[in-house]
Chains A and B, each alone.
Chain A
Amino acid sequence: MSAGPQLVALLALCAAWLAIGVAGLAALHRFHIVARVLFPAGGAVALAVVAAALPAVWGAPEMAVLPLGLPGLPFHFRLDGLSALFLLVLGGAAAGVSLFSAGYFRQSEGTAPGLLCLQYHVFLAAMALVILADDAYAFMVMWETMALASFFLVTSNHRIAEIRRAGYLYLLIAHVGALGILLCFGVLQANTGDYSFANMRAQHLSPFWASVAFLLALGGFGAKAGLVPLHVWLPEAHPAAPSPVSALMSGVMLKTAVYGFLRVAYDLLPAQLWWWGVVVLALGLASAVFGVVFAAAQSDMKRLLAWSSIENIGLIFAGIGLSILFAAYGMRAVAALALTAALYHVASHAFFKSLLFVGTGAVLHATSERSLGKLGGLMRVMPWVGWATLLGVLASAGLPPLGGFVSEWLLLQSFLFTPGLPNSFLNMLVPVVAAVIALVAALAGYVMVKFYGVIFLGQHREDKLAQAHDAGPWERLGMAWLVAGCVALGLFPAQVIDILAPVTQLLVGASLAQADGGSWLLVPVSVERASYGPLIFFAGVAASFGLAYVLVRRLYHGRLRRAAPWDCGFPWQTARMQDTAEGFGQPVRQIFEPLYRMRRELPSAFDARPRYAVEVGDHFWYWLYLPLARLVDGAARAIGTLQRGRIAIYLLYSFATVIAVLLWVTR
Chain B
Amino acid sequence: MGDAVSALGIAAQALEIVAALALAPLLAGWVGQCRAWLQNRKGPGLLQPYRTLHKLFNKDSVVAAHASPLFRTAPYVIFGCMTLACGIVPTLSTDLPLSPAADAIALVGLFALARVFAALAAMDIGTAFGSLGARREMLIGFLAEPALLMVFFTAALISDSTSLTTIVRTLAAREIGIQPSLALAAVALVMVALAENARVPVDNPATHLELTMVHEALILEYSGRHLALVEWAAALKLFAYACIGMALFAPWGVARAHAPLALLLALPVLVAKLAAAGCALALLETLSAKMRIFRVPEFLGMAFLLAVIAMLVRILLGAGPQ
Contacts and interface: CB of A to CB of B under 8 A. Distances in A.
Interface of A: 376-377, 379-380, 383, 386, 390, 394, 397-400, 405, 408-409, 412-413, 415-416, 419, 427-428, 430-432, 434-435, 438-439, 441-443, 445-446, 448-450, 452-454, 457-459, 516-518, 521, 527-534, 536-537, 540-545, 548-549, 552, 555-557, 559-568, 570, 573, 575, 577-579, 583-584, 586-588, 590-591
Contact of B146 (A397, A416, A428, A442): A442
A565 B110 CA distance: 29
Contacts of A566: 62, 64, 127, 220-221, 223
Interface of B: 1, 57-58, 60-66, 68-70, 76-77, 79-81, 83-84, 87, 98, 100-103, 105-106, 109-110, 112-113, 115-116, 119-120, 123-132, 134-136, 138-139, 141-143, 145-146, 149-150, 153, 156-157, 160-163, 165-166, 210, 220-221, 223-225, 229, 294, 297, 304, 307-308, 311-312, 315-316, 318
Given A412-B105, A446-B138, A449-B119, A563 B62 contact: yes
Given A446-B142, A537-B106, A566-B220, A578 B131 contact: yes
B126 A459 contact: yes
Nearest to A533: B101
Contacts of A542: 80
A521 B100 contact: yes
A445 B116 contact: yes
A529 B101 contact: no
B141 A445 contact: yes
Interface centre among A394, A439, A450, A521 (most CB of B within 10 A): A439
A394 B312 CA distance: 32
Among A427, A544, A557, A564, chain B packs the most CB atoms within 10 A around the CB of A544
A527 B87 CA distance: 18
A587 B1 contact: no
A487 to B, nearest CB: 15
Contacts of B66: 377, 380, 459, 565
Contacts of A528: 161, 163, 165-166
Contacts of B60: 559-561
15 contacts: A380-B68, A399-B113, A400-B102, A415-B153, A439-B146, A453-B131, A517-B100, A527-B100, A529-B162, A540-B84, A543-B80, A548-B229, A566-B62, A578-B123, A588-B139
A563 to B, nearest CB: 5
A432 B80 contact: no
B138 A548 contact: no
A458 B134 CA distance: 12
B110 to A, nearest CB: 6
Contacts of A540: 80, 83-84, 87, 98, 101
Contacts of A380: 66, 68
Contacts of B149: 412, 438
Given A408-B105, A548-B83, 16 more contacts: A377-B126, A416-B156, A438-B146, A442-B112, A445-B115, A453-B119, A529-B160, A529-B161, A530-B161, A536-B98, A556-B57, A560-B61, A568-B210, A573-B127, A577-B127, A591-B297
Contacts of B79: 544-545, 548
Contact of A399 (B101, B112, B138): B112
A549 B76 contact: yes
B101 A537 contact: yes
Contact of B162 (A413, A448, A557): A413
A223 B106 CA distance: 34
A41 B60 CA distance: 53
Contact of B63 (A432, A449, A548, A560): A560
A561 B62 CA distance: 5
